Structure 1
Amino acid sequence: MAVVVRAGAAPLWWFGVVAAGVGAVPEGLTGRRIGALAGAALFVVGAVVVASARRRRYDALARGVVRAGRHDVLQDRAVTVRAWRRGHRWWLVLAWAAAIGSAFAVPVAGGLLLAGCGTGLWWKAAWLGRRERALETLLWARVDRLDRRGGRPAGKAVKGLRGTGVAAGDAAPGGARRRTAALVRPGRT
């Protein structure tokens, strides 16, 4: 579940940073200084709103987690991230274009709002990772409950979550890539 949440964080962050950089070029209607201050405020507000959105629903789903069965279809991290990004690419491009276009009115602000939304998704994924570590269970939304674009992990179609051990799959708690320890070859120190 945290993988789906985290999948949009990096594109939103990078599109936001690029849009803020490009948005710093035009003077805009308000001027760069006011645009940057408004953007900083929007960054914080966007991050907090996105990080706290639907937390009760995530809590309710996490409390009702059921051990994954043999017939549950669970998806690898890389496949989930690729499906989410492919399904949302046009929304990301439109948000980026809107952030750049808003720079002619309020420079930098739109890009920082987009970057704040990406930061909020990282915070939410980190919060879910702490929940997974506390439960000692990775939380999974069944693939057939997510829509074809990568889905909404706490949407109406998701009736419950499946759980596996923290060593299952290629995702670490919080949706990050699992780090593998370097193999030590015999005879070398």
Structure 2
Amino acid sequence: MAVVVRAGAAPLWWFGVCAAGIGVLPPGLTGRRIGVLAGAALFIVATAVVAYVRRRRYTELSRSAVRAGKHDVLQDRAVAVRNWRRGHRWWLLLAFLAALGSAFAVPAAGGMLLAGCGAGLRLKAAWLGRLERDGNALLWVRVDWLDGRGGRPAGKVVKAYRGTGIAAGDAAPGGARRRTAAPV
């Protein structure tokens, strides 16, 4: 489940960094200094908001997690990341283009906002990893509860999470790639 949260962090971060870097080039209507300062404020606010939004829902669902049954279909990390990115590629492209376009008004601010959203998702995934470590179980969302575009791990369709042992699957707590092979 943290894999789906973390799947958007890297593209948002890198698109935001690229858009902010390119966005510094035009002077814009407000000037570079005001644009960068506004972007820094937007980065901080976006990081905090994205990291803390819906935490109560995630906590409630993790408390009601049930053991995954043999008929539950759970996705590998790579499949979940690929599905999320494939389902959101147009939104990511539109967000990147909007951040670039906003640079003509307020330089670098749109890119820094986008990067802040990516950083907030990364922090949320780290928080979910601590939640998984404390519960000593990896949390999963059933594939049929995620829609075809990659899904929302705390959406209305999700009734409860499924739990497996901490060594199950190819993801570490928090959605990171498992560095070593899982113990047998």
TM-based fold match above 0.5: yes
1:160 aligns with 2:160: yes
- The aligned residue for residue 142 of structure 2 is 142
- The aligned residue for residue 65 of structure 2 is 65
1:86 aligns with 2:71: no
The one-letter code sitting in structure 1 at the alignment partner of 2:28 is G
- The aligned residue for residue 172 of structure 1 is 172
- The aligned residue for residue 46 of structure 2 is 46
- The aligned residue for residue 185 of structure 1 is none
- Distance, in Å, in 1 between the alignment partners of 2:55 and 2:180 is 31
SS of the equivalent of 1:96 reads: helix
1:129 aligns with 2:123: no
- Distance, in Å, in 2 between the alignment partners of 1:8 and 1:77 is 13
TM-score (norm 2): 0.98
Query: C-alpha root-mean-square deviation of aligned residues, in Å?
Result: 0.6
Could you list the per-position Cα deviations for residues 65-87 of structure 1 after superposition, in whole angstroms to 9, with x for gaps in the alignment? 00000000000000000000000
TM-score (norm 1): 0.95
The one-letter code sitting in structure 1 at the alignment partner of 2:123 is W
Stretches of 4+ moved more than 4 A in 1?
none
Structure 1 position 28, deviation (Å):
0.2
- The aligned residue for residue 25 of structure 2 is 25
- Distance, in Å, in 2 between the alignment partners of 1:50 and 1:86 is 21
- The aligned residue for residue 114 of structure 1 is 114
SS of the equivalent of 1:139 reads: strand
Larger radius of gyration: 1
- Distance, in Å, in 1 between the alignment partners of 2:150 and 2:157 is 12
Could you list the per-position Cα deviations for residues 139-158 of structure 1 after superposition, in whole angstroms to 9, with x for gaps in the alignment? 00000000001100000010
What are the ranges of 5 or more consecutive residues in structure 1 without an aligned counterpart? 182-189
- Distance, in Å, in 2 between the alignment partners of 1:131 and 1:89 is 29
- Distance, in Å, in 2 between the alignment partners of 1:132 and 1:148 is 25
- The aligned residue for residue 77 of structure 2 is 77
Structure 1 position 180, deviation (Å):
1.1
- Distance, in Å, in 1 between the alignment partners of 2:24 and 2:88 is 26
Q: Number of residue pairs matched?
A: 181
- Distance, in Å, in 2 between the alignment partners of 1:62 and 1:8 is 21
Could you list the per-position Cα deviations for residues 97-125 of structure 1 after superposition, in whole angstroms to 9, with x for gaps in the alignment? 00000000000000000000000000000
Could you list the per-position Cα deviations for residues 2-47 of structure 1 after superposition, in whole angstroms to 9, with x for gaps in the alignment? 0000000000000000000010000000000000000000000000
